[in-house]
Amino acid sequence: MTPITEYIQKDLGSPNHASEDDENKSHPSTPRSVSSYSFTTNVAPIMVTNATTIEEQLSSLIRAIEGLTKHVQEQDAQIARLINKTDNIDNNPCGSTERIIEGTIRNKIEGSSKSSLTYSKPYTQRIDSLKMPMDYQPSKFQQFDGKGNFKQHMAYFVETCNNAGTYGDHLVKQFVRSLKGNAFDWYTGLKAGSIDGWEQVEQKCLNRFYSTRRTVSMVELINSRQ
């Protein structure tokens, strides 16, 4: 190589040197390039870390909401069970029995007070619905007070009713007008609807008054012999 050639090469620079210079020229050390380099190496990793932290916080928040929802559902289920227990207590046979007993006592009290204040007919609705004959005229009866001869009173009562054109069960509705005193109190105190025929009236009266008459007769007989 001649001295001239060496001079030219030194002046122009070697290819490698030129490429390095070109590279340095293509990437000048400006503030913008330095700033970009700093952002890439320092800020970007921090942003990634912050993004990861936010995702973790969101996940934690979602888990907390799910846990709260589950807790509320469990509370609702517990309340529903308590309501069912309350309903079972209300439907308990013991509770029903107590209500039945209370109702029975109340009806007894109300029935007693009502019976003491109002009059209930001792015969049934069937007897009460019987119609008297068209030409029926109420008769004037001799009244029995429970002390005289009941068989005689019954015979007189039946004859009077038959003469007025009434027979059988029609006599039941008229019988109360032939009583007074203790006999009247006894008859009107009979259970409502307990009489459904004239035969029942006769039987009840015989059991009540005929035995009483026999007792009185025995006492009178003993007194007469002394």
Q: How confident is the model at residue 112 (pLDDT cuts 50, 70, 90)?
A: low
Taking only the tens place, the pLDDT of each residue in 141-185 is: 999 999 889 999 999 999 999 999 999 999 999 999 999 999 999
Asked if 179 contacts 144 with a C-beta cutoff of 8 angstroms, the reply is yes
Q: What is the rounded CA–CA span in Å between residue 208 and residue 63?
A: 90
Asked if 187 contacts 122 with a C-beta cutoff of 8 angstroms, the reply is yes
Across residues 117-124, what is the average pLDDT?
84
Q: How confident is the model at residue 58 (pLDDT cuts 50, 70, 90)?
A: confident
How many H helices and E strands in the chain?
Answer: 11, 0
Q: How confident is the model at residue 54 (pLDDT cuts 50, 70, 90)?
A: confident
Q: How confident is the model at residue 51 (pLDDT cuts 50, 70, 90)?
A: low
Token readout for 21 is 């210079």
Q: Which residue has the tokens 């001079």?
A: 7
Across residues 59-76, what is the average pLDDT?
87
Q: How confident is the model at residue 221 (pLDDT cuts 50, 70, 90)?
A: very low
Token readout for 140 is 């004037």
pLDDT of residue 27: 47
pLDDT of residue 23: 45
Q: What is the rounded CA–CA span in Å between residue 224 and residue 130?
A: 48
pLDDT of residue 173: 94
Q: Would the pLDDT of 77 be above 80?
A: yes
Per-residue b or e along 151-177, where b marks 16 or more CB atoms closer than 10 Å to that residue's CB: eebbeebbebbeebebeebbbbbbbbe
